[in-house]
Amino acid sequence: MIGVIATMTVQDGNGPQFEAVAAELIEKVRAQEDGNLLYQLTRSKADANVYKFMELYRDADALRAHGTSDYFRESFGKLGALLAGEPQIEYLDGV
Amino acid sequence: MIGVIATMTVQDGNGPQFEAVAAELIEKVRAQEDGNLLYQLTRSKADANVYKFMELYRDADALRAHGTSDYFRESFGKLGALLAGEPQIEYLDGV
């Protein structure tokens, strides 16, 4: 199992739009990726501009399928335009 | 829904013991807490001494039940003794 924590900080005011784009992406991930075990968006209680995707994948193939899908690339571009800086992506092993 | 990301860095060599104590805790959480939706331990691919619990709770009551349980307090004490510093606990809202 592989975990991913993706931290994204939006520019002030971009939260609602970020959540709308993310919701579409989440729907596609859950519908099309049987190797995805979790794809949960969360928002920091300490800073409402900070979002974190909590993600779990069955294995490296499942993670690769996610990252190379058209819908992910398209969404990632839209989400990126709303951010205040680079996303921080942490890769983890399930224990 | 409430998310928690708990980051814990162990002292060199304490990984196996940390994982053993965590495994007992995880078993109890999954068996006894119907308000817990996820309690997954992961280990950073960038630094094998860095562990992250990815946690999701149905609501604040479920999180409180977790944090006030005897088994959590007992385990947290054991885990704490293995760490190289304070744990970092992030609280998040499910989106």
Alpha-carbon distance B24 to nearest alpha carbon in chain A (angstroms): 13
CA distance A4 to B83: 22
Q: What local confidence, expressed as pLDDT, does residue B24 receive?
A: 97
CA distance A54 to A40: 5
Count of CB contacts below 8 A, A vs B?
Answer: 69
Q: Check CB contact of A28 with chain B, cutoff 8 Å.
A: no
Contact B49, B59 (CB under 8 A): no
Instruction: Estimate to the nearest angstrom the gap between the alpha carbon of B51 and the chain centroid.
Output: 9
Alpha-carbon distance A3 to nearest alpha carbon in chain B (angstroms): 7
Q: What local confidence, expressed as pLDDT, does residue B53 receive?
A: 98
CA distances from A83 to A9, A46, B26, B65 (A): 6, 17, 35, 36
Please measure the distance between the N-terminal and C-terminal CA atoms of chain A and give it in whole angstroms.
Answer: 8
Q: Do B95 and A44 touch (CB under 8 A)?
A: no
Q: Check CB contact of A3 with chain B, cutoff 8 Å.
A: yes
Among chain A residues, the shortest Cα distance to B46 is held by: A91
Structure tokens at B4: 């928690």
Q: Check CB contact of B61 with chain A, cutoff 8 Å.
A: no
What residues of chain A lie within 8 A of the CB of B94, using their CB?
Answer: 40-42
Tens digits of pLDDT across chain B (95 residues): 999 999 999 999 999 999 999 999 999 999 999 999 999 999 999 999 999 999 999 999 999 999 999 999 999 999 999 999 999 999 999 99
Query: How confident is the model over B66-79, as pLDDT tens digits?
Result: 999 999 999 999 99
Please measure the distance between the N-terminal and C-terminal CA atoms of chain B and give it in whole angstroms.
Answer: 8
Low-confidence ranges of chain A (pLDDT < 70): none
* Short-list B6, B93, B23, CA closest to B58: B93
Go through the domains of chain B in sequence order and give each one's CATH number: 2-93 (3.30.70.100)
Whether the ipTM is more than 0.90: the answer is yes
Q: Do A52 and B22 touch (CB under 8 A)?
A: no
Q: Do A94 and B41 touch (CB under 8 A)?
A: yes
